[in-house]
């Protein structure tokens, strides 16, 4: 995975109302002191313009992060081409991206794939769950983002 100094990381889930926008906002917050990184999110089956789920908004509000302005967007070939790394929140999302955009297969990963010591798994889908479910998803994403950040920083650092 070679990255340029300016890296766009694009998080992808199903509807772009829970997991991927939570990952986008958390990553932006965690990497606020790293120049040149930008973050976006999209959904494989997003309803354009849909608001984020209330549970996702509330779970991030507990971290003093505002997800309320987010609006869902469908993953497009242009977005896939622009991204340096496409990050599926599940193996199914990654597989579907590889099927739809085979020319970008080398830059498609899952969020949990950045920790070589962890068994690959899907990020919990909180849709329709209670606030505690959204908290668990938020915490899982936040933990996995640490591994992703370390991985990207390592590959960007001069040898």
Would residue 125 show up in a list of annotated catalytic residues for this protein?
yes
Q: Pick the catalytic residue from 18, 19, 31, 135.
A: 19
Cβ count near 88 (within 10 Å): 27
Contacts of 101 (CB under 8 A, 6+ apart): 77, 80, 86, 108
Q: Which of 84, 122, 125, 139 is catalytic?
A: 125
CA angle 73, 77, 79 (to 5 degrees): 55
Q: Give the neighbor-by-neighbor strand order of the sheet with 37-43.
A: 37-43, 7-13, 85-88, 108-110
Q: Is 88 helix (H, G, I), strand (E, B) or coil?
A: strand
Assess whether 13 carries a catalytic annotation: yes
Q: Which of 13, 18, 31, 73 is catalytic?
A: 13
What residues are annotated to the active site? 13, 19, 125
């Amino acid at each position: 995975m070679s990255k340029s100094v300016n890296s766009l990381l694009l998080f992808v889930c199903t509807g772009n109302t829970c997991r991927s926008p939570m990952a986008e906002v958390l990553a932006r917050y965690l990497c606020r002191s790293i120049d040149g990184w930008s973050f976006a999110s999209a959904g494989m089956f997003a309803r354009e313009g849909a608001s984020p789920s209330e549970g996702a908004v509330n779970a991030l509000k507990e971290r003093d992060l505002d997800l309320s302005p987010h609006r869902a967007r469908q993953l497009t070939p242009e977005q896939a081409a622009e991204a340096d790394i496409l990050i599926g929140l599940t193996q199914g999302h990654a597989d579907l991206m590889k099927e739809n955009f085979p020319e970008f297969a080398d830059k498609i990963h899952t969020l949990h794939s950045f920790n070589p010591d962890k068994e690959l798994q899907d990020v919990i889908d909180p849709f329709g769950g209670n606030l505690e479910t959204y908290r668990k998803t938020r915490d899982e994403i936040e933990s996995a983002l640490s591994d992703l950040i370390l991985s990207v920083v390592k590959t960007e650092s001069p040898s």
